[in-house]
Chains A and B, each alone.
Chain A
Amino acid sequence: MVGIVLVSHTLDLAESLARYLVLLGKPEVPVVPVGGDGGYGGATGSAVLAGIVKANRGDGVVVLGDLGGSVLTARHVIEQEPTCPYAVIADAPFVEGAVAAAMVGGSGASLKSVLTAAEGTRHATKLPQSIDTAPRQP
């Protein structure tokens, strides 16, 4: 089964999202939260690499970052670490991408399919385009 690594600026955010993925009914999907520690923002490269190694069950790992440095660190580790050729980074929103990856991954899909599912959420809109989101006058 394809593993999922959630990289966030704060460990709380990644852990909460990981717990939510379990609630989705796919507890067998290996999900590893990685995040900043000790009051410093962001996950370090070594923490990301350890998360990838931990999430790998032999079928590969999809990595999602929340924003900015999380994404840069994840990409750098995947590209530069010769020990993790089985990890890919998804260009996807953190929550939607993780949910899609867990749902498709839980069905035993391949690394490529899980990545495609995660990235399929990239342009998802949340409201019909006809809705006016401007603040209403009280």
Chain B
Amino acid sequence: MHSTLSNRDAGVTSTLDRGTILRWVTEIAAAMRQHRDYLVQLDAAIGDGDHGTNMNRGFDAVLRALDADETSPPGRLLILVGRTLVNSVGGASGPLWGSAFRQMGKRLGDAPTFDAAALVEALDAGLAAIVDLGAATLGDKTMVDALQPALGTLRGAVDAGQPLRSAVRSAAEAAEAGMRATVPLQARRGRASYLGERSIGHQDPGATSTAMILRALERAVSGTG
């Protein structure tokens, strides 16, 4: 474990493994538990108020599912995360993040380790799954407004040879900027779109939890809490 940590600090040569995925979802689950009520509050303003509860419930179920898995490679773990989310979350975030994690896992395949470039490709497959299922594009006031700029930033930083830790930190910052940028937008997808202009002035809950998921990834690749 410690040798892989020092490899990661070396940047683009970072070796990521199932431990990275376990740390990521553990950090996500902790964030969703901590910020559940805040996400519920955001969602109650422009949606049906279940986002925090659903994400919290979903990732708690994911932790239980992963607890029983001691051998799967990272790609298989991600597929298990996706399947668990779909089967435990009723709101739109279940199938959206469920299909995203599933596609990320499929992209990683059965290899025991992966590098920063493969992480970018996996996240790209995840974004594509979300866009396909949710039919949302940039500016619709959805999770895509946080995830897409984060991925663009991550890809640029990894391509430029930045250390993975700082690349993911930049990506998380881009996700948070995208999240804040949803405030003045009028929702064009999801329940919030029924509100029309009344959705303006509220931060999108899906973009908010997405930014938290990127921050969780930063902590996972840092190997520290």
Chain A residues with a Cβ under 8 A of chain B: 9, 36, 40-46, 67-69, 72-73, 75-77, 80
Q: Is the CB of A80 within 8 A of B102?
A: yes
Q: Is the CB of A41 within 8 A of B133?
A: no
Tally of A-B Cβ pairs under 8 angstroms: 69
Chain B interface, >50% SS class = helix
Interfacial chain A residues near B90, Cβ < 8 Å: 9, 36, 40-44, 69, 73
Interface residues of B in 38-79 (CB under 8 A from A): 48, 50, 53-54, 57
Chain B residues with a Cβ under 8 A of chain A: 48, 50, 53-54, 57, 83, 86-96, 98-99, 102, 133-134, 190-191
Interfacial chain A residues near B87, Cβ < 8 Å: 44-46
Q: A72 and B96 in contact (CB under 8 A), knowing A41-B54, A42-B50? A: yes
In the bound assembly, the distance between CA atoms of A43 and B88 in angstroms comes to: 9
Q: Is the CB of A44 within 8 A of B88?
A: yes
Q: Is the CB of B86 within 8 A of A44?
A: yes
Q: Which residue of A lies closest to B58 (CB)?
A: A44
Q: Which residue of B lies closest to A49 (CB)?
A: B87
Q: Which residue of B lies closest to A40 (CB)?
A: B90
Q: Is the CB of B98 within 8 A of A76?
A: yes
Q: Is the CB of A69 within 8 A of B53?
A: no
- A69 CB to nearest B CB, Å: 4
Interfacial chain B residues near A44, Cβ < 8 Å: 86-90, 94
In the bound assembly, the distance between CA atoms of A73 and B93 in angstroms comes to: 9
Interfacial chain B residues near A9, Cβ < 8 Å: 48, 90
A-B contact pairs, 5 of them (CB 8 A): A9-B48, A42-B92, A69-B93, A72-B134, A76-B133
Q: Is the CB of A68 within 8 A of B95?
A: no
Q: Is the CB of B95 within 8 A of A75?
A: yes
Interfacial chain B residues near A69, Cβ < 8 Å: 90-95
- B200 CB to nearest A CB, Å: 20
Q: Which residue of A lies closest to B191 (CB)?
A: A68
Most buried by B among A9, A67, A77, A80: A80
